[in-house]
Amino acid sequence: MKAVLLLNGHGLPMAQVQDRPFIQHVIEQLVERGVREISLLYGQPHEAAARYLGDGTRWGIRVEAIPVLGQGAAADLERACASCPSGLVLLGNAGRLAHLPTAPGQAGPWSTLYFDEEDGVGGWSGWALLEAQVLPGFGAATASGSGWREAARASGVSARKVFLEFPTLSCASPKEILAANRRALTGEFPGLFCNGREREAGIRVARGARIPASATLRSPCYIGEDAWIGDKCTIGPYAVIAAGAVIEQRSRVAGSVIGPKTFLGPELEITDSLVERNHVHNVRLDVDFVVEESHIVSAI
């Protein structure tokens, strides 16, 4: 089965969700559902994500990265679909992680739009199973900002609605990344891959992590591979410490994600924030800033 993914706008596909980037979770979910070929149409802000995926060899699939100048122009989508056999192709917004049916291509010979359902109100998840000949028009319309109804009408799509069991995760903003990590940590979005073992309920620790006896881990939290936690630190709840990060003594991290190879100095209190090297975004205050003092926050 083939998937065509659109990665445009200003999302954060390389942001950490537990032990790996958001975009990697998207790819791994597709592989689990039988996808063996992916065309990724990406804008200039997401070159790093395209490079990270490479040609897909590490997952045993083929990934073709196609740079686009606009917001997923129909011509680029037609190119992505050129090698598609007649039949259904999975179209997805790579900035949204959907818990799709186990084998979406085997649900029947119908185009399908997948919807979230929250409090009885469903919104389109950004994912659809479409006939190859209508996918370029529908995809181009939605990528340029049209709603799914207008896109379906303009491209002649006649599709059934399927409501997903779990609402999609998003990388659209730091706030959404923190929300995605919360749901991953609590198991509210099942089936995500994550290295490490569960030391106790809700506390997962990857290999090589150094955690002294004086540190306090509060569930749920995740400590990544080769991370270093200082004496008398408090980690959690809802904290993710990525691989190779160093948290100095007596610091507290809660409701936050500390990125790979990021250094936090001693006696800091980090809450409701994304910290990537010396770049900090506090979601509660909606403040984004760079820390110049390397002894406080920096790259390793």
Share of the chain above pLDDT 90, in %: 68
Q: Tell me the C-alpha distance between 41 and 207, whole Å.
A: 35
Q: Is the pTM of this model over 0.75?
A: yes
Helix (H, G, I), strand (E, B) or coil at 52: helix
- Do 14 and 122 belong to one domain? yes
Give residue 44's pLDDT.
Answer: 82
Strands 279-282 and 287-290: antiparallel
- Do 210 and 145 belong to one domain? no
Which range of residues forms the domain containing residue 286?
195-299
- Domain of residue 72, CATH code: 3.90.550.10
- Do 221 and 84 belong to one domain? no
- Do 68 and 211 belong to one domain? no
Give residue 72's pLDDT.
Answer: 45
- Do 293 and 226 belong to one domain? yes
| Mean pLDDT, all residues of the chain | 90
> pLDDT tens across 129-176, in order?
998 888 888 888 888 788 888 988 888 888 888 899 899 999 999 999
Q: How many domains does the chain have?
A: 2
> pLDDT tens across 53-70, in order?
999 999 999 999 988 865
The answer to whether residue 240 sits within a structural domain is yes
- Do 158 and 253 belong to one domain? no
Which has more pLDDT, 79 or 183?
A: 183
- Domain of residue 289, CATH code: 2.160.10.10
The answer to whether residue 186 sits within a structural domain is no
- Do 113 and 73 belong to one domain? yes
Nearest to 218 by CA among 206, 230, 233, 236: 236
Question: With the C-alpha atoms ordered 124, 129, 131, 133, is the resulting torsion angle positive or negative?
Answer: positive
